[in-house]
Amino acid sequence: MPTETLEILKLLVIKTGVYQLSLGNVLMIGIGCGFIYLAIARHFEPYELLAIGLGAILINLPGHQVGVMSTEMQAAGVLGLISHFALFQNNLFPPLIFLCLGAMTDFGPLLANPRLILLGAAAQLGVFVAFFGALALGFDLKEAASIGIIGGADGPTTVYASAKLAPHLLGITAVTAYSYMGLVPVIQPPIMRLLTTQKERKIKMKEMRKIPKLAKILLPLIMMIVIILLIPMSAPLVSMFMIGNIFRESGVVDRLTKSAQNELLNIVTIFLMLCIGLTLDANKVLNPVTLKILALGLVAFAIGTAGGILLAKFMNLFSENKINPLVGAAGISAVPMAARLAHEMALKEDPTNFLLMHAMGPNVAGVIGSAMVAGYFLSILQ
């Protein structure tokens, strides 16, 4: 065979993705397939894990430019450009997600029983345990803050904080947060059963009073003003959340509310999750740091769950109107999975015990709490 022909064949082989494929790429493609399996077969956070899995597979297929991120526009792929400008440079996606979440949120449970806010605050204990744990393991302050936010069980907040404080950790912190959110039905029940008695799990909470429309409009407006005055760096997340909620409760912008709840949420979710998946390059993820973050995230979730439960039990010592401690586990920000799980566990003990709306109180408080903690970290570290 002529030398020129051999050189051409050799060049063709070298240019294939197969030739450039590494063992790390294969492993990450397998992990991406695992996310897809969890999303489709197990229904674990399918709106998040499916797109993340696809993005992880795409970025680990060598030789293409679709998901490549580069400061040179000519060298960046289409998804890479979206990721660079909308996620890393402007951090646009998380506030938009918060706008959509606000449009889907009912503050009624918090207004009907304001003390449930404390359970959402207690669940933030996991954030600070993970933060100090990360410092102890050798991470710097900004990295530790990004890892700590995982304990809030709030994916968009984790993305927002990591993109600003430690962008090199964004992929693994975001995936850890969303993965553990999907595993709430696996992680939380053993902790909930361990820390509560059967009698406590059967506690029936008083029926909630009806909240006037004016109160539902004023609450998010007042909270937005007060929180942003206290923690200005929380404004991008808190303001969008409250604005979305005011759209909902005003009753005069139904088209905007429905768009935020559906079309906008769907579009932003697609691109945010794909962009997160694109950060899972084998060269960046497969290292001992990843294992440390995964471990810290799991500990943070467990501590956050325990914090809400234990505070509910403590509050019951001084209250005639008892709180079912299962509601405390919903203080983490995994909306609405944690609230739904508390409700389901109560139903197993007593089929007439409906806790869902009660559990939504601390669940919503947890979302606001994690955004405030992220704003606090950004205020002192950025």
The per-residue pLDDT for 4 is 65
Residue 14 lies in a domain: no
Res. 73 pLDDT band, cuts 50 70 90:
very low
- Confidence class for position 16, pLDDT limits 50, 70, 90: low
Chain centroid to CA 95: 13
- Its pTM stands at 0.88
| Cβ atoms of residues 220 and 246 within 8 Å | yes
Domain that holds residue 113: 91-381
% of the chain beyond a pLDDT of 70? 89
- Structural domains of the chain, count: 1
Q: Which are the contacts of 147, defined by CB distance < 8 A and separation ≥ 6?
A: 130, 131, 134, 139, 169, 173, 293, 296, 297
Residue 301 · residue 151 · CB < 8 Å: yes
At 173-201, the pLDDT tens digits run 988 888 888 788 888 999 999 999 999 99
Q: Does residue 19 sit within a domain? A: no
> How is residue 208 annotated by DSSP?
P
Task: Answer whether residue 70 is part of any domain.
Answer: no
- Classify residue 31: in a domain, yes or no: no
Backbone angles phi, psi at 317, to 5 degrees: -65, -25
- Peptide bond preceding 288: is omega within 30 degrees of 0, i.e. cis? no
Handedness of CA 23, 24, 25, 27 (dihedral sign): positive
In a domain, 310, yes or no: yes
What pLDDT score does 14 carry? 59
User: Which of 57, 109, 101 lies closest to 79 in space, CA to CA?
Assistant: 57
